[in-house]
A and B are shown apart, each in its own frame.
Chain A
Amino acid sequence: MNRRVLLIEDEPNIAEAIRFLLSRDGWQVGLHADGTDAIDQIRAERPDLVILDVMLPGRSGMDILRDLRAMEDMQDLPVLMLTARGQLRDRDMAERAGVSRFMTKPFSNAEVLTAVRDLHAQAGRA
């Protein structure tokens, strides 16, 4: 089982924490810190799951998600969105953009792990 996750996050400490959590759970974790070429990175790595920050340098996570969902082969890719901007408006926007799961920072590690596992399991059944 080689589960791969791509983590797009510009805060190095947060990225490090999530990488640590998911590696320990058996995931192969790819890190990317920039919004501009995030989609290229996804295309290149073809991960099983993407964890996406909203406020990224270069390009907003929302825009990336919308573009992603417009691509035929990316419509079923599970995307877990993490953001420090936890307003209802942001959640609505994310859901309209086609997010699989939306979580606000700060999160509990267990929540993140559960969410990642659930998303992967759903994708596997589908």
Chain B
Amino acid sequence: MINRLSKRILIVEDDIHISNIIKMNLNLVNYETTQIYDGLAALEAIQNSMIQVSGSAAGPFDLIILDVMIPGMDGFQLMERIRPLGIPVIFLTAKTTVFDKVNGLKLGAEDYMVKPFEAIELLARIETVMRRYGKEEQAIHYKGVDVYLDKREVTVYGEKAELTPKEFDLLVVLLKNKNIALSREQILEKVWGFDFYGETRTIDTHVKELRKKLRLQDSIRTVYKIGYRLED
């Protein structure tokens, strides 16, 4: 299991469906989520979480996903209020004007996402922000496979596995988007970068290698019409 239970993310979004879909995506990769639908309640929840640090298990939120147009108190106002607390915030909004973007970032938001968004993009940005805040885990454990991110080492049931750099990157991308099917194009972009004009067949070979070296034949599934998915 990837141990991410300690990472708590607050979703402040007034549209219940959008809030739910964010929650479902975050839960897939084992983030713990709290949903709140208006600004005032969010402020209260955030302040309460700060007070509870010492006592209860909850503790402060690790990240907040914040919609701008929410009832009670809008996202920008809320951002101003919670900025001193130092919790990273990603704005999520339908507003696309440059002014809104600049305003959001000026207020101290870590990132800014425009609706409609892709789930894996949101996850990637959360990942980046977590890393920036030093909240990224150093090791991922999955079905006897231990991945040490800092040393770029992988062991299978305690035995060191020799992976090429690209195979290692591919493994990390699959692990971080666990339970979500990634298309070959998405994998290509994340592992090889935007400017790589390789063939998607390259991925198939790398996946085949990973399955063999890490004994994950059943876990890395080929998903019809899409690509690959690492399953629990």
A, B in one complex: no
